[in-house]
Amino acid sequence: MDMKFQPLLQEKPENKPIIIAGPCSAETEQQVLQTAHGLAGKGVDLYRAGIWKPRTRPGAFEGVGTEGLKWLRRVKEETGMKVTTEVANTQHVFEALKHQIDVLWLGARTTVNPFSVQEVADALKGVDIPVLIKNPINPDYKLWVGAIERIYKAGITKIGVIHRGFSYHGETKYRNVPRWQLAIDLKREFPDLPIICDNSHICGRRDILLPVAQKALDLNFDGIMTEVHPDPDNAWSDAAQQITPSQYLELKEKLVFRLPTT
């Protein structure tokens, strides 16, 4: 399918990396605002927080729901950062749009299911909003492309993809193995499609966040998405991979961003 993408964030100059940071989950209003104030004015383009959390097993924290969208609204008002959250069904899309979420993302467990992707695509018909599409949990290149096509066919042209690694049963230092070649192939097939590395979900641990993000930048990725929490060890989801705002800013300082190509 022939697709022509528009820039993901209108005000963002080309050749500048897209920087996304924020907690895995919105937990409390205080936690959301504290994290946001720790990141505001520091070159973060998009503040992320999961409101509806697709947990692998039941019984884990499944997100605060719609209430959290009001907290993200406050983040926008108080910091000027744009905000993004994960949507997986029609109701999520409607609620997110109603609360003026700036950018939506599809999670790995949504991209893997064409029924769910189509449901989100149908809910987005006639809406002009940027959408980020994570890779499916399994390394299925065509399934990833299929999700991009479904969203594009709904009329969404501001699309980006997020590489968050692929699940793997066995010994590995990663939580989700990167299989970089899939991202390289996608970049080759769709040169205008921004690709962002979610180093947090690839790593699943704090100590290798930097080399993984740097590897992505060295491969000409267009941005980085990282989970940031004021008290990572006590986070309600993904505690082992989150870092504090100051640790995050330190990490960002160490990254060597590629120079503009033109």
| Interface stretch with Mn ion, choices 73-81, 118-126, 153-161, 231-239 (CB under 5 A) | 231-239
Of residues 6-65, those binding ligand PEP (CB under 6 A)? 24, 50, 54
Least CB distance from residue 90 to ligand PEP, whole Å? 19
The neighbour count for residue 29, using CB atoms within 10 Å, is: 15
d(CA 198, CA 165): 8
Q: Dig out the tokens for 248 from the structure.
A: 């995050």
Choose, by CB under 6 A, the member of 63, 68, 107, 160 that binds ligand PEP: 107
- In the bound state with Mn ion, the residue whose beta carbon lies nearer, of 24 and 121, is 24
d(CA 150, CA 146): 6
Choose, by CB under 5 A, the member of 8, 21, 24, 93 that binds Mn ion: 24
Can residue 150 be called a binding residue for ligand PEP (CB under 6 A)? no
Q: Pick the closest to residue 225 from 14, 19, 13 (CA basis).
A: 19
Of residues 61-100, those binding ligand PEP (CB under 6 A)? none
| Interface stretch with Mn ion, choices 22-30, 111-119, 165-173, 218-226 (CB under 5 A) | 22-30
Least CB distance from residue 235 to Mn ion, whole Å? 9
| Interface stretch with ligand PEP, choices 12-20, 36-44, 106-114, 248-256 (CB under 6 A) | 106-114
Q: What are phi and psi of 151, to 5 degrees?
A: -70, -40
By the 8 A CB rule, do 117 and 75 touch? no
Least CB distance from residue 45 to ligand PEP, whole Å? 16
| Interface stretch with ligand PEP, choices 2-10, 102-110, 183-191, 207-215 (CB under 6 A) | 102-110
Q: Dig out the tokens for 159 from the structure.
A: 């699309």
| Interface stretch with ligand PEP, choices 32-40, 105-113, 183-191, 205-213 (CB under 6 A) | 105-113
- In the bound state with ligand PEP, the residue whose beta carbon lies nearer, of 175 and 187, is 175
* Total residues belonging to the chain: 262
Binding residues with ligand PEP: total (CB under 6 A) = 9
d(CA 146, CA 115): 11
Q: How large is the C-alpha radius of gyration of the chain?
A: 17
- Name the binder of 222 from Mn ion, ligand PEP, none, CB < 5-8 A by kind: none
Of residues 180-239, those binding ligand PEP (CB under 6 A)? 201
Which residues of this protein are in contact with ligand PEP, per CB under 6 A? 24, 50, 54, 107-109, 134, 164, 201
Which residues of this protein are in contact with Mn ion, per CB under 5 A? 24, 238
